[in-house]
Amino acid sequence: MRPYQLVGVHWLVGLYENGLNGILGDEMGLGKTVQSIAMLAHLNQQGVNGPFMVVGPLSTVHNWHNEFKKWAPGFESIIYHGSKETRKEILGSYFCGKAEKHFPVMITSYEIVIRDVKELKKIHWKFAIIDEGHRLKNMNCRLIRELKSICGAGCNRLLLTGTPLQNNLIELWSLLNFLLPNIDLDSFQAWFDFDFSREDNDERVFKGEMQAGVVSKLHQILRPFLLRRLKADVELEVPKKYEFILFAWMTEWQSEMYAELLKRQIADSAGKPQRLQNILMQLRKCCNHPYLFEWPVDAAGNEAVDDILVEASGKMQLLDRILTELIRKQGDHRVFIFSQMTRMLDILQDYLEWRKYSYCRLDGTVSAEDRMQSMKTFQESEEGTDVFLLSTRAGGLDVNLTRADTVIIFDSDWNPHMDLQAQDRCHRIGQKKTVMVYRLATAATVEEKVLQAAKQKLKLEQLVVSKGKFKDIGEKTDKDAKLVENELKDLLAFDPSKSALGKGKVITDEELLEVLDRSPENLERLNAKKGKGFMLAEKAQSAFDAAAAHSASSVSELLVKG
């Protein structure tokens, strides 16, 4: 284990010895899993026999089991999953109806916890680890209610999350409430003199209206319970990550479709939020590819896969240029491509087959066995697989593939932490190469507003969490569902026909080659050229700042003619 991981283990043991719950909030890729396993193994050696429970997304369950076998082979763990009969047998054999003994670590999923809450809460758990703990951000969700009932007074609780704050302050309160169950929301709000139900809370914090009060008090509360370290602070062996935002112009087909969508659907919406959400999704589909609406067919009635597949979309043209240089010409790079839309992954898959690039694919429909096999093929194949296609949400968890050194985000998520998790699938311990992230967006469209919304969320986390110095010890909106009507109308305000962005500088082929060159000397030159047609962001958050500057000025970072 690395020195900072040992510090993390000591911190976790200290929490247990003092009867405290906590959040291990290290940045993704710094080894929260191994630190947690080491802590449980230490407790077990000290005579704390459990029972212990690890709860996480289904996709992480097998990884946890493998990590226990790797790091603590003498410490038994068991996956609690399968049929009702199988689960009943596991409970009877290992956990119920017997005198005090050494228990295996139970590893299970959120869904099983909800399904078997009556049986699980009969067990007197000693320690519960909740992986991807930010899933408890909704204090009224069923998962958090059932976990509270399972974790009794004698059960220590640890949340693991690389993103302690994803969207707003009320979500942070939800996490704290799980750690401090005896403090209710009314008491919490009274102590802060702050109504957490107000929709403009985040904006007021940004403006500084409450910074001296709410933020400083949040820091005071969080400090004993949260340990957060960043790669830049502790893991010098991880190469740098650079991120560029690349803007593509819409093709003529896309521009006409976008204008028609605006004209027709806004006229029909009558200000209904649900209708506006649908408009927004249609516009985002248009920005990705016209084939998401209607795929042309050939004379035989088959979907056509030819030059038009690339020519129809500005972002596809840009992607084609990037892959041609990285794979065909340079030849020593492996690429992740992330999209939120399964149908867009279909289009990308057809494109890769047409261009004869080798690829793997992972989305929410892939079974656990096929998922593991695809990752093994990509990571270990001697021939090398050119591209791994992943859905942002399904592929952003439990995928550790340092064979890739390039990440292309075809369309950005409303929640910026989903994209950051995606990037960190390859930018983590074990990576030997500089990681380049290329975030594609369509200029003068709602996609720019998506980047601005992401920037605001990251700034909130920077203010509330990162500036609380929680590293000192060791040195949608979820999708569209929560968007209010005014936000939606603002997102639809971009009209490409009235945009003045054409006055900005368009990146040349020579400049694009510079962006794809990851030599240290070139990256230094690019940094010095900031503001002359493109902007380099060494930290992911800076990329969102760049997007905001793009829409606020005539400078267009990496504007690529479609």
Interval 358-368: pLDDT, tens:
998 888 777 77
Q: pLDDT grade, residue 484 (50/70/90)?
A: very low
Compare 469 and 554 and report the one with higher pLDDT.
469
Q: Do 145 and 200 have their domain in common?
A: yes
The answer to whether residues 335 and 221 belong to one domain is no
* Residue range 388-407: mean pLDDT, rounded: 73
* Residue given tokens 């959400």 in the structure block: 277
Q: Do 181 and 252 fall into the same domain?
A: no
pLDDT at residue number 148:
87
Position 53 pLDDT exceeds 90: yes
- Cα separation, 75 vs 54, whole angstroms: 14
- Better-scored residue on pLDDT, 451 or 515: 515
Question: Among residues of the chain, what percentage have pLDDT more than 90?
Answer: 17
| Residue 549 binned pLDDT confidence (cut-offs 50, 70, 90) | very low
- Judge if 166 and 251 occupy the same domain: no
Is 70 exceeded by the pLDDT of residue 16? yes
Three-class HEC string of 171-206: HHHHHHHHHCCCCCHHHHHHHHCCCCCCCCHHHHHH
What pLDDT is recorded for position 13? Answer: 92
Going by their DSSP bridges, the two strands 387-391 and 156-160 should be labelled as unpaired
Position 508 scores a pLDDT of 61
Q: Are residues 168 and 298 located together in one domain of the fold?
A: no
Q: Which residue has the higher pLDDT, 278 or 359?
A: 359
Q: Is the pLDDT of residue 562 over 60?
A: no
Report whether pLDDT(490) > 80.
Answer: no
Residue 297: is its pLDDT beyond 90?
no
Q: Average the pLDDT over 377-401 and give the result.
A: 73
DSSP string over 89-110:
HHHHHHTSSS-S-PPPEEEEEH
CATH code for position 374 = 3.40.50.300
The predicted pLDDT at position 460 comes to 55
**Which tens digit of pLDDT belongs to each residue from 525-548?**
776 665 433 445 443 333 444 444
pLDDT over 60 at 170, yes or no: yes
Last residue of a domain, one of 215, 233, 251: 233
Contact 247, 442 (CB under 8 A): yes
517 vs 96, residue with greater confidence = 517
pLDDT of 433 reads 80
Check pLDDT > 80 for residue 439. yes
In this predicted structure, what is the pLDDT of residue 19?
A: 87
What pLDDT digit, counting tens, does each position of 179-230 carry?
877 766 676 666 655 555 555 554 554 444 444 456 566 666 667 788 888 8
* pLDDT for residue 453: 67
pLDDT of res. 505: 36
Domain check: are 201 and 263 in the same one?
Answer: no
366 lies in which domain range? 237-560
Q: Note whether 247 and 205 are same-domain residues.
A: no
pLDDT: which is higher, 410 or 541 = 410
Average pLDDT, the chain: 74
Question: For every residue of 26-78, which 3-state class applies, written as one string?
Answer: CCCCCCHHHHHHHHHHHHHHCCCCCCEEEEECHHHHHHHHHHHHHHCCCCCEE
Last residue of a domain, one of 208, 233, 258: 233
Q: Are 142 and 158 in contact (CB under 8 A)?
A: no
pLDDT band at 510 (very low <50, low <70, confident <90, very high): confident
pLDDT score of 529: 61
- DSSP code for 248: E
DSSP assigned state of 166: S
pLDDT score recorded for residue 64: 92
The answer on 451 and 463 residing in a single domain is: yes
Are residue 532 and residue 436 in the same domain, yes or no? yes
Of 233, 256, 290, which closes a domain? 233
What's the mean pLDDT in 167-177? 68
Rounded mean pLDDT, 427-435: 74
Domain harbouring 185, CATH code: 3.40.50.10810
The answer on 215 and 271 residing in a single domain is: no
256 and 213 in a common domain: no
Three-state DSSP class for 472?
Answer: helix
In this predicted structure, the answer to whether residue 260 has a pLDDT above a threshold of 80 is yes
One domain, residues 229 and 242: no
Range with the poorest average pLDDT among 5-14, 118-127, 173-182, 231-240: 231-240
More confident residue, 491 or 344: 344
> Token pair 């909106």 is at which residue?
477
| Domain total of the chain | 2
How far is 292 from 307, CA to CA, in rounded Å? 16
Residue-level pLDDT at 137: 67
Higher pLDDT, 87 or 264: 87
Q: How far is CA 360 from CA 59, 329, 348, in A?
A: 17, 21, 11
pLDDT in tens, 130-150: 998 767 766 677 888 888 888
Asked if residues 346 and 309 have their Cβ atoms less than 8 Å apart, the reply is no
**Is the pLDDT assigned to residue 507 strictly greater than 80?**
no
pLDDT band with cut points at 50, 70 and 90 for residue 351: very high
